[in-house]
Every structure is written in C-alpha cells, then in structure tokens.
Amino acid sequence: MCLTHVTFMSLVIVFERAGTVEAVRIFKKPTGESRGMGVITFVDPESVQWAVQNLRDEEVNDRKMWVSTHKGSADPAKGLPPPVQTTSSRVFFSNVPFDVDEDQLRMLFEEVGVVKELSLMKKSEDGSSRGMGHCTFQVPSMAAAAIQALRDRDVGGRAIWIAEDTKGPAVGPSSGSSRVFFSNVPFDVEEAQLSALFEEVGAVKELSIFKNK
C-alpha cells in the first residue's frame, strides 16, 4: 500500500472487508511521519488474495491505494520459508537503476531498520552510479529483515537484489605494502579498465599487466 495521511483505524476498516486483520504495520520515517506504505497481516491467508484482487486501486483519502502480496515474513507452521538468518549487519545490493541515488536507497532500507552507513559504488571517470553498493544496519537482524522484505522489491522499474555481505570492510593490521597482485582477468581487459576498477578504493599510482613476449 502507498498512502501518507491514513490512520491505523481507517486502514483496519478498509482491509477488514477482506477478512479479520491480525496486525497493521505502517512504515515510518525517523521523524515518525508515515512513509505511505506498510504491511497488513490477516488471520486467514485466503484474505490476502481477496485484498489484492479487490482493494488494489481502492480510493482512500482521494488517492488510489496499491496492494500486493508481501513476502517479508514467514510462518513455518503455514508452510512458508523460515526467516533469513544473518551474522553480519551489512548487506550488498545490486541491480539498482543508475538514476536512483543514495537518499532514495536509504529511505528504502530504513523501512526495516536503522541504517548506520550506506554507500553506492560509483564510476571513477564521471562519478555516476554503478547500480550496486552496501548498506550497514545497526544489528544483524535488521540486515536479515532487509533480505527477507526488500529483496526483489521494484526500485525504479528494476527488482533490487539484496544479500548478506559476510566479507565486510577490511579489518586488522595493514600489511605494510601498497601493492596488490591480481589474476584470473580476461585477456581482453585493458589496463585502463582495471585502473578504473581499483580506483574505486583509492588512488592508483601504477598498474601493470604481465604480457607474453
């Protein structure tokens, strides 16, 4: 659903046409304001399909409401997949349209928890988005909620992919060297392409590809 100035009780009244409402969750901004979207949980799963078929495009406060099935929660007793479990509070996301910025992505991820840091990978040559990045939550359970509730969510016309990032940022003491070795690179990749890749993490002083004599 996507409405901004709707009360808890008004939603219950609308959705109880489909069946008994067990719970209502309205997603909110850090300021406490509604984001105009949320999740309705019915007592009877069959009520979900009725709501999707009959309440989609229903006018509420002069706006048409969007209703679709939600895959964010699970109940093993009802034959649904178990909740996602994560050990990391960081997720990797991809398949994001290039015109979607960090503020829009932060709003998306804040639906499920407190975002400590969000970074969108960008091209070194022009600063444009690469359509992928990382989001760090306050606790691992929030990362799990993002994977469960937001994976495959339509973002700008594309289904966003979200997965746990178990690698995370580099930790531990420095090796003392400013040089790295790379391999398994396709033969048709040029030095300029590799330089652009490595410049995502820092200034490249020198790059060389071993060549056959």
| Helix-then-strand count for the chain, H and E | 5, 10
Residue 125 tokens, joined: 């040559």
Q: Do 80-168+177-213 and 8-70 fall under one CATH topology?
A: yes
145 touches 78 (CB < 8 A):
no
pLDDT at 170: 41
109 touches 148 (CB < 8 A):
no
What does each of the 213 residues of the chain score in pLDDT, given as a tens digit? 444 445 667 777 888 999 988 777 776 655 666 667 777 888 888 899 899 888 887 877 777 777 877 655 444 344 344 556 778 899 999 889 999 999 999 999 988 888 999 999 988 888 889 899 999 998 888 888 888 888 888 888 888 989 888 765 543 444 455 777 676 677 777 888 787 787 777 778 888 776 654
Residues in a beta bridge with 196: none
The class that CATH gives domain 80-168+177-213 is alpha beta
pLDDT at 7: 64
72 touches 116 (CB < 8 A):
no
pLDDT at 123: 85
Cα angle vertex 133, ends 131, 138, to 5°? Answer: 145
Distance CA 30, CA 110 (A): 8
pLDDT at 87: 84
**Half-sphere exposure in the Cβ direction for 186 (13 Å, CA):** 4
* Residue indicated by tokens 């829009």: 104
Q: Regarding the domain delimited by 8-70, which CATH topology (the fold level of the hierarchy) does it fall under?
A: Alpha-Beta Plaits (3.30.70)
Cα angle vertex 62, ends 43, 2, to 5°? Answer: 50
Terminal Cα-to-Cα distance of the chain (whole angstroms): 63
127 touches 99 (CB < 8 A):
no
Domain ranges of the chain: 8-70, 80-168+177-213
pLDDT at 104: 94
